[in-house]
């Protein structure tokens, strides 16, 4: 009998991106939750200038509390690592282990933008002003996430939504240590690597967290769902 798994998506995505992984986990007896963060996916209509990292941290924390979940395997992909770390800080007694799937990681008090190269930050701010009404970053093409299969790329392109700009501008607010004293595993998607989040790797190493390699692209839940499940459960 499997346990409880909460899968939190990254920037521009939604709970929909976990479809294949969630099916595999449920087939092995796990209870699986795939929340969509405020302002994204089917909740894109809730986008406002106030939607930021604090909002998304509340999204994840509220799920843990409303569903009365305990002993949770809490997974954050890419940007989703930040609300996962925030939620673990607020409800550590509900979490058994954290897995960051090619996650964007910053120290407490730092912003998501602090982890990105300067030129990437400038471009995203510019795109938000020009094409996102000053409050959201338009989605990049699927290839940016390592998705090159034509059918998968078309599927992604239909679903990707703009990312609330404030989510990258707002600092990660924690009361305790990064990771909340819980076991944390970082899964590095290495083929091809996603260089935008390279600075996160030093934070992971400084924290002494477990490191695993998964030879697939950044959107591993799409490009290699079987390998992703194996990495999450190992």
Q: How many CB atoms are closer than 10 A to CB 211?
A: 12
1-5, 99-103, 186-190: range with lowest mean pLDDT: 1-5
Quick check: helix, strand or coil at residue 149? coil
Clarify whether 78 is annotated catalytic. Answer: yes
Q: Is the pLDDT of residue 180 over 70?
A: yes
195 DSSP 8-state letter = G
- Under the banding of pLDDT at 50, 70 and 90, the label for residue 2 is confident
| pLDDT tens sequence across 107-127 | 999 999 999 999 999 999 999
**Can you tell me the distance from the alpha carbon of 223 to that of 71, in angstroms, rounded to the nearest whole number?**
28
Q: Looking at 78, 190, 199, 200, which residue is catalytic?
A: 78
First-residue to last-residue Cα distance in the chain: 15
Q: What is the mean pLDDT of the chain?
A: 97
pLDDT at residue 182, as a whole number:
98
Domain count, the chain: 1
Looking up residue 176, the CATH number of its domain turns out to be: 3.40.50.1820
Q: Which residue has the tokens 């954290």?
A: 98
**pTM: predicted TM-score of the whole model, two decimal places:** 0.97
- pLDDT tens, residue by residue, 26-66: 999 999 999 999 999 999 999 999 999 999 999 999 999 99
**According to the model, what pLDDT value does residue 119 have?**
96
pLDDT at 214 exceeding the cut of 80: yes
Q: Which helix (H) or strand (E) holds 4?
A: strand 4-8
| Digit-coded pLDDT (tens) for 91-104 | 999 999 999 999 99
User: Is it the case that residue 201 has pLDDT exceeding 90?
Assistant: yes
Residue 1 has pLDDT above 70, yes or no: no
In DSSP terms, which residues pair with 80 in a beta bridge? Answer: none
pLDDT surpassing 90 at residue 216:
yes
CA 221 vs. chain centroid, Å, equals 11
Q: Band of the pLDDT at 85, cuts 50, 70, 90?
A: very high
- Determine the structural domain holding residue 187 and report its residue range: 4-233
């Amino acid at each position: 009998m499997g346990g409880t798994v909460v899968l939190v998506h990254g920037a521009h995505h939604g709970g929909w991106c976990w479809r294949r992984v969630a099916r595999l986990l449920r087939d092995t007896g796990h209870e699986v939750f795939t929340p969509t963060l405020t302002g994204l996916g089917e909740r894109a209509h809730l986008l406002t200038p106030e939607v930021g990292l604090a909002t998304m941290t509340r999204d994840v924390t509220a799920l843990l509390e409303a569903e009365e979940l305990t002993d949770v395997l809490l997974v954050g992909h890419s940007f989703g690592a930040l609300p996962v770390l925030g939620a673990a800080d607020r409800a550590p007694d509900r979490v058994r282990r954290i897995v960051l799937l090619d996650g964007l990681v910053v120290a407490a008090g730092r912003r998501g933008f602090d982890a990105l190269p300067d030129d990437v930050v400038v471009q995203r701010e510019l795109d938000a002003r020009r094409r996102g009404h000053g409050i959201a970053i338009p989605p990049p093409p699927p290839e940016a996430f390592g998705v090159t299969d034509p059918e998968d790329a078309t599927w992604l392109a239909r679903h990707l939504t703009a990312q609330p700009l404030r989510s990258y501008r707002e600092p990660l607010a924690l009361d305790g240590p990064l990771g909340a004293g819980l076991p944390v595993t970082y899964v590095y998607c290495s083929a091809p690597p996603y260089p935008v989040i390279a600075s996160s790797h030093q934070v992971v190493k400084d924290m002494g967290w477990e490191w695993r390699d998964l030879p697939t692209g950044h959107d591993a839940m799409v490009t290699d769902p079987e390998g992703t499940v194996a990495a999450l459960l190992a």
